[in-house]
Structure 1
Amino acid sequence: MDPAAIHTLVQELFVAEGPVDRPVRIASLVAFQGDRRTLTERDLPRIASALVNAEQQQGQGQQHPAPEQAQTPAQARPELTDALARTLHALGTVDLDDLRAVRLGPEAFARHLAIAAPDADEGLDADDARTHASLREAVCAHILRFLVRRSPFVTAAEDAAFEERYARDIVAAHDHLTIYGIDLAHSPDSWPLDAAYLSLETEADGGGPSAPAEQALAGRERVLLWGVAGSGKTTLVQRLAVSVARGDLPTPLAGLRGRVPFVLPVRRFRRDGFPEPDGFLSAVRHPHTAAQPPGWAERVLSHGRGLLLVDGVDEAPEDERERLREALRELPARYPGNVWLVTSRPSAVRENWLASELASERFTELKLSPLSREGVTAFIRRWHAAARQDITDRADLDRLSGDEETLLDAVRITRDLGRLATNPLMCGLLCALHRDRRGYLPRGRKALYDAALSMLLERRDRERAMLPPEGIDLPQEPKIQLLQKLAHWMLVNGRSEMDRATAVETLGRHLPAIPHAARQGGPEEIYRHLLNRTGLLREPTPGSVDFVHRTFQDYLSARAVVERHDFDFLIDHAHLDDWEEVIRMSVALARPDECGYLLEGLLAARKDARPVHARHRKLLAAACLEHATELDPEVRSRVHRYTRDLVRPTSLEAARALGWIGPIVLEMLPDPSGVSDEEAHRLAVTATSIADDRAIDYLVRLRDRGSWAVRAQLAGAWRRYDTDRYAEEIIGHLDERELDFPVSDLEELRALRRLGGRPCVQIAGALAPDQLAEGLVAERLTELWLAYDLGADLDLSWLAAFPRLHTLRLSHRNTGVTGVPEGVQVIVAGA
């Protein structure tokens, strides 16, 4: 029977009138007694029979019984109807108001009714008594839903109580981060979010100054955030959810206070489509879904109180993303006033993926920037500060401090390390390996992951002479083989999470081929060992398992594919963006002849292939070249030849898309000297998307262009490269006309001063007034843009030191400034 029909039956038990603005005794609401009665007691068996019939039909519909079992218990055993009728009659004597009953919940409320009707089970055998108890609780759940819907007071009170509990659940689930290798004696440790979180930088797609993520998100209702693997997308989602749940928000995000965060990882509902609001919690397997008041999430969104954090669009299969996109357009339009943050890897969605004809419904597109030099330094210092917390030995503390400074120097000086230290994941691994290996660090990505696996899977326990806690002692290689089986299953099935039972079953199938593991335990014991001791697996929700980071899953998948020589399998899926990392890592792991076969397969024409997929394969072949340790020169030449024409982008979107290929694309970009300004701008976009100092050599050939778009693109990329070299070779040569020169840190400010200053300067980093007063050149400055949140530094009287200053631009969050010198025009961005 339809739930609406059950609601109608329950509604019949109660009178329509009565106060709804305060708690009301349930006994005064029943429709079979009192002055306003609409039923008699003789009606209760009829309603009870219909409820028993409806509940049993609903249960059978879920369990798909055989036809011979489909008769209703009401027809088979009328004594159940009589028992439930006596229970319903007790509603007229129960000493509870509607608010208290709702807060008790179905189970406790059913116990109250059982006490109020002690003779209800009279004449029932043990089986029927159990059936009656189950029916009583189910009907009580429907009654409580009716009471919630009936009274706005009960609804509001119940919503508030649940939201308090829900906020605690959000904090408990997300207020921690994994910092790899802090304590090498255990699995990767979980650290409080506040202690471990590093503020991330974002930039608008298409260029412009970077800004802290909290500042960039402030005041925006709809944001699509791009970030590569390991860049911190999920960490930012956690930070926002916990901050809102606690009510402890940084100043730029004060507008989110009072909102209800919904953390919605796409991998949890990737095949079932985007859930409706009342299915949010069940879709992500929230532990207290059943306690959610009926219609609560719908009310939150209808009142514009939600913060919806949709994490990992790239986790959805490519053929399901269109359905996901429609939901992410339709739901914000249906429920205006809520704040939406959607995250994805850049390769998974195109530019303007969530565009709308209405400006009010457009998603602002931002991308997480690679860690700046200051960000890398801050991360390394924070990692070592966390590592010190549990160290008491003075010599160990001194050694750790020495390691910290050595690593900082190595990352600054060594190009290979600098290229690896671009995001929090990679920086964390470098810190852990540097400490674990006493200063020895791998030079490439393959070596980094191999060393990380060695550290996580074997060395931490062995070097402490730790006894196996489960009685299982596996060397590194069997662990890797078993983990590869899980990763390979996820790859083949297009998943980034699997059921626990499937994981155990998968291990069970492969254990006989790995005798060292099979001798030590069954699949369940081996699964627990891998979960508890490798530091690579976790159970994000009861009954499910995934890798602690997608990068490890991709790497182990690649190892499995290469060992199986299944390169045709890779080639067949190379047009899918979520296979990119697996294919690039496979090239790094494969032998020279295998690399050649794989790259030739990417270049080969395929019957019925769409042009966009063919282009994607060729660009992927180019991206793989830097990972091939040894490769037939003829194959390398052929990749260059096939991709040469693809690196003349015809749109800004295509120009930015080339950036993910990496430094290898710099070798293929055309000579910009003879191209139009429009094409030169696109080439500048591509080159500045590659955060490698080798890009400077190419950008030098664009620095003398008169085009404002080219000059602005080059000026805005300063923070991605070595400060002094970029200042000398690029910034110092740019035509100053109508150009804002961005400054993001003190080092850049000093470099700009050494160049003699500039008339128009944009301050994108939070520099102190005394630093700006000293660093800006007073006799040159005419226009100043303070493109960051001033915080408490709202007194701008220090600007009197700049006699030629006539225009001041401010963020809309800095409208309370004082002390602006007379004659200076103030322009507020976005006003």
Structure 2
Amino acid sequence: MVDVTALGARVASSAVAPLVRRLFVRDGPGAGLVDRPVRISALVSFRSEKRSVTPKDVDKIAAELVRRALASAGPRERPVDAAEATAVKDALARTLARLGEITVEDYEAVGLGPDRFARELRGNVPLSPYGLGEGGLLLYERLLHTASLHILNFLTQRSTYVARRQTVQTQQLARLVQAVDVLLERLPSQTAEDAGFEERYADHIAGRYGTLTIYGLDAGTREWPLDTAYLSLEATRPQAAGRAGRRDAEYLTVAAEQVLAGQDQVFVRGVAGSGKTTLVQWLAVTAAGHAYDHGLTHLIGRVPFVLPMRRIVRPGAELPFPGDFLRAVGCPVAGEQPPGWAERVLRARRGVLLVDGIDEIAGDRRAAARRWLRELVRAFPGNLWLVTSRPSAVPEDWLAAEGFGERVLARMSQDDIATFVRRWHRAAGVAESVGESLLGAVRTTSELNRLATNPLMCGMLCALHRDRRGFLPQDRRSLYEAALTMLLERRDRERELHAPDGVRLAYATQVQLLQKLAWWLIRNGRQEMDRAEALQIIGRALPALNLTGADDEEVYHALLLRSGLLREPAEGRADFLHRTFQDYLGARLAVQEMDFGLLVDHAGDDAWEDVILLGLAHARPKEAERMLGRLTELGTPRGTLLAAAGLRYAAEVDPEVRKRVEEQLAALVPPATFELGSEVARRGGDLVLGLLPGPEETDDITAAIVVGTAVEVGSEAALHFLTRFRTHPGRDVQVILADSWHRFDRERYAREILAHLPEQWPVQVSTPDDLRTLRSMGGWEQIVVRGAYRVEDLTELIVPERLTYLALEAPHPVEGLAWLSAFPALETVHVAGDVDTAVAQELPTGMEFTWEPSQQPSHTHHQG
């Protein structure tokens, strides 16, 4: 039998809307322009002498709704027999007739939303006389919900008063109606077996990926609900270098969760801890969820497949094909999967394939992974693909031939950091003042500002700031060391676990064992190990650790239960809580074992970058100097950049060695391209700023690259450096400066950079505070609104006389633009997303309107 709960969604708006309109009295001229609410009972006339709608009409409408729903199921899978279908029709007709009785006004009904409005309608309708069985009751409820949705949407379209009073609800209803139609197009008629399994699989996805492990809560780790923990970061489209390395004037960014809205296949790069896996989780849970008002229509009706590469790539084993996806990742409902289900999903173009961590598999397996991806994309076209990796694990355009576009996760902006820190402290139950104290330290201390670049590091800073009552480590090695102490030594003591079950391991013993496991994983290019491999490593170490009476099994379990760093992601497999801890511990042992040559020999491997830098941090001064010398001797840009980055990690460096590193770095500065500038900034930090030329020493193209490099450094010193370019006449320089204010403290950047620009180029705003800052400067001419917005904020906070260009890059469609008449100087409006082109008719005469549909790169232009 077909899944009854889906039947209501299988009746398209093109079928429901005309039926709903027949429930209401036809309006006279100008009815939609009323400036007051209207009772719904006044819009239908079931009792008056001159009625336009009769109870018999309602009965026909209910019968048609039931007929269409049953027709969508097909003749073989009807959920109710003919007699019960008649009972459903009678109950639905009686419920819809309540429209003539309720006293709710139209705008109040819209505010209730479809669920509560449906309950309002059936409030005084007893269902027992109709004798509905389970299937009939479900069908009745779904059809009533569908009718309620379209009734409320009709009310918003009928009355400008309702649309004005209930702006948010009006937009949500329109999105829901659109989502139902998208779902109908994408969701083929399913067998009951497939539909039932997808429900169970969706529940598994929500349970498995619906929480995040946030470091540092409760003196350790805690699961945080994804919907409150998720932080929307930016994904930047890498710019192709032109003849002189010129970057496009428009530096294209998009919210990370929107990367699949404009392209079916995307390859996302991001550094460790930048949020790649979190993005995968968010997309999986959103696609599997049954809420369709999120505005991401490309995810509606899709089925997510989460494919962590470190789980599915096994030594000597072939990569899995669709029928084996769930089993390969250890999904507990894999055994219930109907034969051929995964292939049917992909042939219907309903899949969202989330391939996480190309960098987490050995280099010699990556070519096989690319062939595997190519075969799947060609065999099952039209599905959505997201593949993630650390930045340099594979070459640029690694998947370009397979049709993948590339995006890079940006470092957290100052606003992102503030949002994360405040959420963390709320979740931890810590006073708001503690979080604000940390934010002040991050803004004013260059080392902390450099550390707080991604969610993982921000979480560590929050935990240690609270744990140490405001005293924070000032470098990365000290930060990790303090985190290890908190996790391995203080966690049990502070929870009063003086006698935990099993063997008690001292702090030094835990560190020694964990770093042996970490170094083995790094040397073997692995992210997971079999339990047997872990036991063998521990067993070899035990004789030297003087753990009397303990065997490898007991010690292994003690590390799992007490360390907070080692975990079992699947039965018989072990890995570290996060790759960063693995790199830190592995580097610690590499220095102890004096494996400096092995570290330098892997300078060309992106997976070893943090291991090398942390090795420099652990090394004694002479050891660090030798490593830096070996890196410079490589004679490669990568070796030079690693050496430059390593200067920040080494505690003591001979002046001659430092001079040699700086001279080699100077040969890379100014960078020839924006891409190289980003690499130089990431690894060189503030050191690069002293080597970059000033505005008077460069041509326009080089000046733009220099400014882009300083923006990527992102420190207080970088902001001071950028003030030298604020009056530079180069167009690209000005565009980059205007586009970068969200990377720094908003108010200071506006005061020191934006206020001095000779011409006003587009700036991005995402909060009312952004708008207030621009207003305090007297307004701004060109504004790009990113994310959800309230019309009231835009009309109240934008200086009307200044605004000439407005772009709306919201995650949801825009239903109306009549409010733009409040801006008399506005010449051009651009909307990114799916919109009803009829809204262009609402614009004042002469105003240009452009839009960019989410699935199409081209622009369409209209004149208002």
Same topology, TM > 0.5 = yes
Partner of 1:337: 382
Kept after mapping to 2: 8 A contact 1:183/1:387:
yes
**For the residues of structure 2 that align with 1:750 and 1:651, how far apart are their CA atoms?**
35
Q: What secondary structure sits across from 2:307 in the alignment?
A: strand
Q: Describe the shift of the 1:766–1:257 C-alpha distance in structure 2 as closer, same or farther (beyond 3 A).
A: closer
**For the residues of structure 2 that align with 1:705 and 1:437, how far apart are their CA atoms?**
45
Partner of 1:40: none
- Pick one of 579, 598, 603 that aligns with 2:627: 598
Using the TM superposition, give the Cα deviation of residue 751 of structure 1 relative to its aligned residue in structure 2, in angstroms. Answer: 3.4
Q: Describe the shift of the 1:656–1:402 C-alpha distance in structure 2 as closer, same or farther (beyond 3 A).
A: closer
Q: What secondary structure sits across from 2:492 in the alignment?
A: helix
Partner of 1:304: 349
Using the TM superposition, give the Cα deviation of residue 22 of structure 1 relative to its aligned residue in structure 2, in angstroms. Answer: 6.2
Partner of 2:117: none
Partner of 2:143: none
Partner of 1:802: 823
Q: Describe the shift of the 1:318–1:669 C-alpha distance in structure 2 as closer, same or farther (beyond 3 A).
A: farther
Are positions 1:673 and 2:714 aligned together? no
- Pick one of 177, 196, 208 that aligns with 2:212: 177
Q: What secondary structure sits across from 2:802 in the alignment?
A: coil
Kept after mapping to 2: 8 A contact 1:300/1:306:
yes
Q: Describe the shift of the 1:277–1:510 C-alpha distance in structure 2 as closer, same or farther (beyond 3 A).
A: same
Kept after mapping to 1: 8 A contact 2:728/2:734:
yes
**For the residues of structure 2 that align with 1:154 and 1:673, how far apart are their CA atoms?**
67
Partner of 1:13: none
Q: Describe the shift of the 1:557–1:708 C-alpha distance in structure 2 as closer, same or farther (beyond 3 A).
A: same
Deviation readout 1:171-226 (Å, 9 max, x if unpaired):
23222211223223xx5222332343333333333463644333443343112222
Q: Which has the higher contact order (CA 8 A, sep 6+)?
A: 2
Are positions 1:813 and 2:837 aligned together? no
Using the TM superposition, give the Cα deviation of residue 593 of structure 1 relative to its aligned residue in structure 2, in angstroms. Answer: 0.8
Are positions 1:167 and 2:191 aligned together? no
Structure-to-structure mapping, 1:758-777, within 5 angstroms:
758-777=780-799
Deviation readout 1:385-426 (Å, 9 max, x if unpaired):
2223xxxxxxxxxx6444334333333443333332222111
**For the residues of structure 1 that align with 2:235 and 2:190, how far apart are their CA atoms?**
40
Structure-to-structure mapping, 1:33-44, within 5 angstroms:
none
Deviation readout 1:14-35 (Å, 9 max, x if unpaired):
xxxxxx9969xxxxxxxxxxxx
Structure-to-structure mapping, 1:92-111, within 5 angstroms:
none
Kept after mapping to 1: 8 A contact 2:444/2:716:
no
Q: Describe the shift of the 1:807–1:666 C-alpha distance in structure 2 as closer, same or farther (beyond 3 A).
A: same
Partner of 2:804: 782
**For the residues of structure 2 that align with 1:723 and 1:669, how far apart are their CA atoms?**
24
**For the residues of structure 2 that align with 1:594 and 1:810, how far apart are their CA atoms?**
57
Kept after mapping to 2: 8 A contact 1:218/1:252:
no
Q: Describe the shift of the 1:482–1:440 C-alpha distance in structure 2 as closer, same or farther (beyond 3 A).
A: same
**For the residues of structure 2 that align with 1:430 and 1:284, how far apart are their CA atoms?**
32
- Pick one of 653, 656, 660 that aligns with 2:682: 660
Q: Which residue identity does 1:309 align to in structure 2?
A: L
Deviation readout 1:577-611 (Å, 9 max, x if unpaired):
10000111111121111110111111114xxxxx8
**For the residues of structure 2 that align with 1:302 and 1:695, how far apart are their CA atoms?**
51
Partner of 1:354: 399
- Pick one of 423, 440, 446 that aligns with 1:382: 423
Q: Which residue identity does 1:708 align to in structure 2?
A: R
Partner of 2:411: 370
Using the TM superposition, give the Cα deviation of residue 645 of structure 1 relative to its aligned residue in structure 2, in angstroms. Answer: 1.3
**For the residues of structure 2 that align with 1:296 and 1:727, how far apart are their CA atoms?**
55
Kept after mapping to 2: 8 A contact 1:302/1:335:
yes
**For the residues of structure 2 that align with 1:157 and 1:686, how far apart are their CA atoms?**
56
Partner of 2:718: 695
Q: Which residue identity does 1:423 align to in structure 2?
A: N
TM-score by length of 2: 0.71
Q: Describe the shift of the 1:467–1:366 C-alpha distance in structure 2 as closer, same or farther (beyond 3 A).
A: same
Structure-to-structure mapping, 1:359-438, within 5 angstroms:
362-388=403-429, 400-438=431-469
Q: Which residue identity does 1:714 align to in structure 2?
A: L
Using the TM superposition, give the Cα deviation of residue 536 of structure 1 relative to its aligned residue in structure 2, in angstroms. Answer: 0.5
Partner of 2:153: none
Q: What secondary structure sits across from 2:667 in the alignment?
A: helix
Q: Which residue identity does 1:521 align to in structure 2?
A: A
Are positions 1:238 and 2:281 aligned together? yes
Partner of 2:296: 253
Q: Describe the shift of the 1:402–1:488 C-alpha distance in structure 2 as closer, same or farther (beyond 3 A).
A: same
Using the TM superposition, give the Cα deviation of residue 539 of structure 1 relative to its aligned residue in structure 2, in angstroms. Answer: 0.9
Are positions 1:825 and 2:845 aligned together? no
Partner of 1:71: none
Using the TM superposition, give the Cα deviation of residue 521 of structure 1 relative to its aligned residue in structure 2, in angstroms. Answer: 1.7
Are positions 1:193 and 2:226 aligned together? yes
**For the residues of structure 2 that align with 1:401 and 1:715, how far apart are their CA atoms?**
32
**For the residues of structure 1 that align with 2:514 and 2:653, how far apart are their CA atoms?**
29
Deviation readout 1:700-723 (Å, 9 max, x if unpaired):
344344332232222211111122
**For the residues of structure 1 that align with 2:518 and 2:747, how far apart are their CA atoms?**
44
Query: What percentage of residue pairs aligned between the two structures are identical?
Result: 48
Kept after mapping to 2: 8 A contact 1:180/1:429:
yes
**For the residues of structure 2 that align with 1:757 and 1:192, how far apart are their CA atoms?**
39
Kept after mapping to 2: 8 A contact 1:789/1:814:
no
**For the residues of structure 1 that align with 2:680 and 2:544, how far apart are their CA atoms?**
43
**For the residues of structure 1 that align with 2:716 and 2:440, how far apart are their CA atoms?**
17
Q: What secondary structure sits across from 1:486 in the alignment?
A: helix
Structure-to-structure mapping, 1:79-228, within 5 angstroms:
156-184=191-219, 188-206=221-239, 208=251, 210-228=253-271
Kept after mapping to 2: 8 A contact 1:719/1:744:
no
**For the residues of structure 2 that align with 1:201 and 1:740, how far apart are their CA atoms?**
17
Are positions 1:445 and 2:476 aligned together? yes
C-alpha RMSD of the superposition? 2.7
**For the residues of structure 2 that align with 1:446 and 1:154, how far apart are their CA atoms?**
57
Deviation readout 1:766-802 (Å, 9 max, x if unpaired):
44333322332322222211222366x7444432222
Q: Which residue identity does 1:527 align to in structure 2?
A: Y
Q: What secondary structure sits across from 1:225 in the alignment?
A: strand
- Pick one of 618, 622, 626 that aligns with 1:589: 618
Using the TM superposition, give the Cα deviation of residue 156 of structure 1 relative to its aligned residue in structure 2, in angstroms. Answer: 3.8
Partner of 1:556: 585
Kept after mapping to 1: 8 A contact 2:286/2:299:
no
Are positions 1:502 and 2:533 aligned together? yes
**For the residues of structure 2 that align with 1:231 and 1:520, how far apart are their CA atoms?**
43
Kept after mapping to 2: 8 A contact 1:209/1:716:
no
Q: Which residue identity does 2:686 align to in structure 1?
A: P
Kept after mapping to 1: 8 A contact 2:270/2:389:
yes
Q: Which residue identity does 2:566 align to in structure 1?
A: L
Stretches (4+) displaced over 4 A = 20-23, 271-274, 816-819
Q: Which residue identity does 2:800 align to in structure 1?
A: A
Bigger-Rg structure (1/2): 1
Deviation readout 1:633-688 (Å, 9 max, x if unpaired):
11111111122212343333333333321333323334453333233333333222
Q: What secondary structure sits across from 1:813 in the alignment?
A: coil
**For the residues of structure 2 that align with 1:329 and 1:467, how far apart are their CA atoms?**
54
- Pick one of 547, 553, 569 that aligns with 1:524: 553
Q: Describe the shift of the 1:685–1:331 C-alpha distance in structure 2 as closer, same or farther (beyond 3 A).
A: farther
TM-score by length of 1: 0.74
**For the residues of structure 2 that align with 1:600 and 1:238, how far apart are their CA atoms?**
42
Structure 1: gaps (5+ residues): 1-19, 24-152, 389-398, 606-610
Q: Describe the shift of the 1:171–1:767 C-alpha distance in structure 2 as closer, same or farther (beyond 3 A).
A: closer
Structure 2: gaps (5+ residues): 1-73, 78-187, 240-249, 853-857, 860-864
- Pick one of 721, 728, 733 that aligns with 1:710: 733
Kept after mapping to 1: 8 A contact 2:783/2:803:
yes
Are positions 1:566 and 2:595 aligned together? yes
Q: What secondary structure sits across from 2:217 in the alignment?
A: coil
Kept after mapping to 1: 8 A contact 2:681/2:712:
yes
Aligned residue pairs total: 656
**For the residues of structure 1 that align with 2:431 and 2:722, how far apart are their CA atoms?**
40
Kept after mapping to 2: 8 A contact 1:487/1:556:
yes
